[in-house]
Amino acid sequence: MIPLSYAASHAWKIKWDRFVIPWPLSRIVIAVGEPVYVAKGLNADGLARLQSDMEHRLAALFEEAQSALG
């Protein structure tokens, strides 16, 4: 999996799922993280750790994208 996040200078934000739709002509920054490899046959505990790790990576990438907007 490749973690990916973006931020826009101006955007509509849909409340129920927090989806962001950039306005036309707004600036967009895309932040791409290091690939994460998922082992075959990963058990439930491993998947939970992977999910938590991915959540933290995505939050950090979003902060990185927002800070790059200035």
Tokens standing for residue 25: 């002509």
pLDDT band at 70 (very low <50, low <70, confident <90, very high): confident
pTM: 0.84
Mode of pairing for the β-strands spanning 4-8 and 28-32:
antiparallel
The secondary structure of 29-46 as a DSSP string is: EEEE-------TT--HHH
Q: Is the pLDDT of residue 20 over 90?
A: no
CB 29 within 8 A of CB 6: yes
Give the pLDDT mean for 3-22.
92
Mean pLDDT (whole number) for 28-33: 96
